[in-house]
Structure 1
Amino acid sequence: MIMHTCKSTGVLSAFVDYFWYMESQNTSYQNELSLPDGSVDLIIDLTADKVLMATASNETLRLNHVFVCGPHSRHFVICNSLETRVIGIHFKPGGAYPFLGCPLDQLHNVMQSMDAIWGHSAGELREELLELSSVGQMFHVLSDRLLQLAVKPLDSHPAVHYAIEQLDKINVQTDQVGNIVGRIGISHRRFIELFQRETGYTPKRYSRIRRFQEVLRKLNERQNTIQWSDIAFDCGYFDQSHFIKDFRAFSGLNPSDYEAIPGRHYNHVPL
């Protein structure tokens, strides 16, 4: 497998975490479990076949070559083909909103063709990328075109920006979200509306997902024997049963089953 990433720069650095490119052939496994991380990906498939996905409820989706994977709070399955060649944009939490033209909560647990958002420009972008000879050129063009295709002003509401910073701290419990709202200075109802519009999540759900991500980070970086109770405590769970319940809700797996799967990498688990 060939994998390239490129951090965003300039104006886009406030919205895009990184650009990525992946190419592989004849994978040893057919499907891949993708886990929620609190963000959004715009994906451009560069092969001839349409992309197949399966939702957590086993609904099979056949997607166009350019699509957005909205903010998920459930896992989904990527149905790998014999040949994979894709390029994408991994947005920061809340970063996709200016480019998609709709409240992000409308895309919660949804995969949407970008034809419905960008019109013919989505297909034209893919065709332009197919003409390029290097991944570096693709990243450059993708960055330039993304700026041109923004449908809203390139900014975020300061209340949402502040809340994301606070909620990304793993020691924030979900029952402390109200304290964050109190420091922002707007009504609770208005804040929830803004947060869902720009991130696709309620603040509490977003906080749970980011804590789940911290668990995955610890699992993938730990070298010695895993003590589940230690991980639960370190990541701010009330107890181990609460930790296991959250892990299963987001991944469909028990923590020990996830840990035992060879070839897993954070949010990507071969099946």
Structure 2
Amino acid sequence: MIIHTYKPPGLLSAFVDYFWYMESQNTACQNELSLPDGSVDLIIDLTADQVLMATASNETLRLNPVFVCGPHSRHFVICNSLVTRVIGIHFKPGGAYPFIGYPLDQLHNVMLSMDAIWGHLAGKLREELLELPTFEQMFHRLHDRLLQLAVKPLDRHPAVQYAIEHVSKKNAQTDHVQHIVDQIGISHRRFIELFQRETGYTPKRYSRIRRFQEVLRERNERQKMTDWSAIALDCGYYDQSHFIKDFRAFSGLSPTDYVTIPGRHHNHVHL
């Protein structure tokens, strides 16, 4: 398995966490779970003309090879093929909105072919990438085209950006929302509308997902640490049942069933 990443400079750095490229050859088609992380990925499959994915409720989706995984609060299933070659964009929380155009809460737990948004330009982008011999060239082409394909102005509402920075802090509590509202000087209702539009989540749900992600990061950094309870308490869960409830809600697994795929991000888990 080969994985490369690239952090775009300049204007895109405010919206995109990184571009990524992956290629692999599998001896068997092993499906995997992808867990929610509070963000959005745009994916371009460079091998298949149609991509198979599945929802947490086992609904099979057949997507065009350029598609978006909207903001999820449940896992979804990646149906791998024997040969995989994929490039993608991992947006920062709230960063996908100018390029998707839809209010992101309309794409909550949704995967959508990008020709519904970009029309024929989605397929044209894939064709351009297929003509390039190296992933470095693909990254640079993707950078240039993404700037051109934005469907909304490249700006972020300052209230949403402020809230993301504060809600994303380790051990942030959901009751911080009122504090944020007091700081930004807009109504609670307007703040919730803006936050859902640009991130796809309510602030409370986003905070829960970020806390869940903090647990996964801690677990993978402490490879020899098997005490999930200690990690959960360190990350702000008030008891074991609270932690297990969130873990099951977001992953469909119990903590003891969580096994990451070697060489992959901690959100990619053996099915």
Computed over aligned residues only, the root mean square deviation of the Cα atoms, in angstroms, reads 1.3
Which residue of structure 2 lines up, in the alignment, with residue 170 of structure 1? 170
- Structure 2: distance between partners of 1:254 and 1:164: 28
Give the partner amino acid of 1:2: I
* Pairwise CA distance, 1:270: 2.1
* Pairwise CA distance, 1:102: 1.1
Which residue of structure 2 lines up, in the alignment, with residue 185 of structure 1? 185
Which residue of structure 1 lines up, in the alignment, with residue 198 of structure 2? 198
- Structure 1: distance between partners of 2:212 and 2:192: 21
Which residue of structure 1 lines up, in the alignment, with residue 90 of structure 2? 90
Q: Residue 115 in 1 paired to residue 115 in 2?
A: yes
* Pairwise CA distance, 1:176: 2.5
Give the partner amino acid of 1:9: P
* Structure 2: gaps spanning 5 or more residues: none
Deviates more, 1:190-199 or 1:220-229: 220-229
* Pairwise CA distance, 1:91: 0.2
Q: TM-score, normalised by structure 2?
A: 0.96
Deviates more, 1:85-94 or 1:218-227: 218-227
* Alpha carbons of structure 1 residues 27 and 144: separation in structure 2 relative to 1, 3 Å: farther
CA contact (8 A) 2:125 2:145 kept: yes
CA contact (8 A) 2:29 2:81 kept: no
Which residue of structure 2 lines up, in the alignment, with residue 18 of structure 1? 18
Return structure 1 stretches of 4+ with deviation > 3 angstroms: 261-265
CA contact (8 A) 2:38 2:93 kept: yes
Which residue of structure 1 lines up, in the alignment, with residue 241 of structure 2? 241
CA contact (8 A) 1:29 1:270 kept: no
CA contact (8 A) 1:220 1:265 kept: no
- Structure 2: distance between partners of 1:223 and 1:34: 20
Q: Counterpart of 1:124 in 2: which secondary structure?
A: helix
CA contact (8 A) 2:28 2:82 kept: no
- Give the paired residue count: 270
Q: TM-score, normalised by structure 1?
A: 0.96
* Pairwise CA distance, 1:225: 3.1
Deviates more, 1:160-169 or 1:223-232: 223-232
Q: Residue 38 in 1 paired to residue 38 in 2?
A: yes
CA contact (8 A) 2:98 2:153 kept: yes
Q: Counterpart of 1:174 in 2: which secondary structure?
A: coil
Question: After superposition, what is the alpha-carbon deviation per residue over 1:72-108, rounded to whole angstroms, capped at 9, x for unaligned?
Answer: 0000100001111110000000000001111000110
Give the partner amino acid of 1:55: T
* Pairwise CA distance, 1:183: 1.4
* Pairwise CA distance, 1:208: 0.4
Give the partner amino acid of 1:34: S
